[in-house]
Amino acid sequence: RASRRARKRVSDRALPRFTEEREDGRRIIEEPPLITRLDRDEAAEVVDGLDGYVDTLPSHWRRVLSGYTVVDVAHKVVGVGSVGLRAYVALCEGSSPDDVVFLQLKQAR
């Protein structure tokens, strides 16, 4: 019960801070140069890559992630140890608009 309340408190604060509601749904807020929008083709490539990755996971993790749909992806600048690597953040929605998961995706070395 306590962990459920803690997760909700984090989501309640993070969702309005990192996303905004638009005509086409909830989107990640741009904060150039740290978080920037992708063009349609690059976003589709990232989502395809994530789908391929999910297929490699153990079945229990595939079940968890299959309940979510990627609704937005953005490029994200990450720490010094990852300079030169591509990194993204994906906003995923579950069964309702307030059931969200943020995934950070980073290119492997």
User: 3-class DSSP state for residue 107?
Assistant: coil
**Model pLDDT, residue 62:** 95
**Model pLDDT, residue 107:** 86
**Phi-psi domain of 25 (left: phi exceeds 0; alpha: psi -120 through 50; beta: other):** left
Please tell me what DSSP assigns to residue 39.
P
Task: Work out the angle at residue 53's Cα, subtended by the Cα atoms of residues 51 and 58, and round it to the nearest 5 degrees.
Answer: 110
Question: At residue 75, does pLDDT exceed 90?
Answer: yes
**Model pLDDT, residue 32:** 96
Q: Which of 7-16, 58-67, 68-77, 99-108 shows the lowest mean pLDDT across its residues?
A: 7-16
**Model pLDDT, residue 74:** 98
% pLDDT > 70, the chain:
88
Let me know if 101 is exposed, middle or buried by CB neighbors in 10 A (0-12, 13-18, 19+).
Answer: middle
